[in-house]
Amino acid sequence: MKFSLMPGQLTFEDIAKIFHQETSLELHPSCHEKIYAAEETVARVVTDNKTVYGINTGFGSLAHTRINSHDLEILQRSIVLSHAAGTGDLLSDETVKLILLLKINSLARGYSGIRLKVIDALIQLFNHKIYPCIPSQGSVGASGDLAPLAHLSIALLGVGNVRHQGKIISAEEGLAKANLKPFDLAPKEGLALLNGTQASTALALQGLLAAEKVFHAALICGALSVDAALGSVTPFDERIQAIRGHQHQIYVASVLRKLLEKSEIVQSHLDCNKVQDPYSLRCQPQVMGACLSQIEYAKKTLLIEANAVSDNPLVFAETNEILSGGNFHAEPVAMAADTLAISIAEIGALSERRLALLTDSHFSGLPAFLVNNAGINSGFMIAQVTAAALASENKSLAHPASIDSLPTSANQEDHVSMATFAARRLLPMTENTAGIVAIELLAACQGIDFRRPLKTSVSLEKVFALIREKVSFYDKDRYFAPDIAAAKNIVSSGILSALL
């Protein structure tokens, strides 16, 4: 896919397509004028011998140290080298691809004072799939994602390593594959490259994309569990939702009604004596609606940040000013990631409770642990334990990161966001929740089998068939892990989203 990037105008659909598809980027020519103007503004500062932070001063707590004009290139190279101080496992190629996209998008808006040739070099790395090796740990999310972005930028100097087609090679070799040579950075360019929130934002966006798929799967699975447990559809009545007024609650209830429409199982127990279902069935619109509200909030915040200029100082060429501010502080990303983490944990927590209900014959009316001849067979007993373990792990991971702060840089950076960790834990959390929903999906299908010859709705029969293509009915104990893996692949793939 070829994509003409109009800086600052990425949509969420653009980001998702570029993330999932092989894409060739090019800058829309209309952005060139602002890039050139900002570059000239920086050049005038050097020519006029003015003192401006980041151009001819030190950084952080060394901001008051004036740098001689003949040392300005060394200054920019030095900041990249010294700030490439990350540790831990390397970020995935998919994450680095997204970081590159966001960095290009931000720099090309023309407020960073960086030369067009440097932005073009980042585009060449993107297009040739040359992904700098970026350690996952070492950023506190202010002053920007310094260490991760320094590791991204150091490749332009021909230093460090990059990954190409799954193989780690030297940065110099990687540059050659992209028809590039190592750069000498001009004034302000090193700071512009490594200052910003692109690493934390990319990680959060990646978590958001995964969370949406898991949310959709959990919503469908929740409907299937209602039928498997002979649950009531009355709690999903639109009148109940309307008088509370939360739009996402109203939406979730409408989806559940649609998914269960014309289910033979629902019709079979309309006149039963059961008065109310447990909350994990009955309160799905309220809980899942609240989760969706937070997902949508995070989506809106992260899209703004994906298009933001978040380095410092910022160049306003139209007034010939360079202003120092704090757009690098990633508090919006950290808080969005925190609310997303809570939602991911709650989606899994509700799913685990429905699974526990299905395996409990007292509540579900199904065979104990969803297997015949229980005692000889343990059925879903330990699968539910696995789901409980994953749900518990997510509770710990959901603790807000944004409420923590440790001063850095000799107290110059005295409040930080912890956005990078806030965002980085989202993918492991969605993996956990995908595992929980996968186990519930298997249990719900097992319950539907026990309700035969009655059928669920047309939509849910499609889900049932999709699972049964990969996982057969659990007639007796067998090796369970491959079944969970197969169901988890379905949950994580996003294939269930098409049914909504």
Given the residues 36, 53, 279, 297, select the one marked as catalytic.
53
Do the beta carbons of residue 445 and residue 487 sit within 8 Å? no
3-state secondary structure of 169: strand
Q: Tell me the CB-side half-sphere exposure of residue 420, using CA atoms within 13 A.
A: 27
Would you call 46 exposed, middle or buried from its count of C-beta atoms within 10 A (0-12, 13-18, 19+)? Answer: middle
Question: What are the residues facing 374 on neighbouring strands?
Answer: 377
Do the beta carbons of residue 1 and residue 21 sit within 8 Å? yes
What six digits make up the tokens of 280?
Answer: 């994990």
Nearest to 417 by CA among 158, 199, 240: 199
Q: What's phi and psi for 48, nearest 5 deg?
A: -85, 0
Dist CA 137 CA 451 (whole Å)? 50
Dist CA 6 CA 30 (whole Å)? 8
Give every CB contact of residue 410 below 8 A, 6+ residues apart in sequence: 60, 61
3-state secondary structure of 87: strand
CB atoms within 10 A of CB 137: 14
CA 186 remoteness from chain centre: 34
3-state secondary structure of 79: helix
Alpha helices in 169-283 (DSSP H): 171-177, 189-194, 198-228, 238-242, 247-259, 264-268, 279-282
Dist CA 394 CA 429 (whole Å)? 6
Does residue 36 carry a catalytic annotation? no
Q: Cα separations (Å) of 451 from 2, 218, 235, 267, 465?
A: 50, 21, 22, 13, 15
Count the helices and strands in the chain (H runs, E runs).
21, 9
Do the beta carbons of residue 113 and residue 315 sit within 8 Å? yes
Give every CB contact of residue 10 below 8 A, 6+ residues apart in sequence: 101, 105, 303, 306, 307
Dist CA 446 CA 465 (whole Å)? 12
**Which residues carry out catalysis?**
53
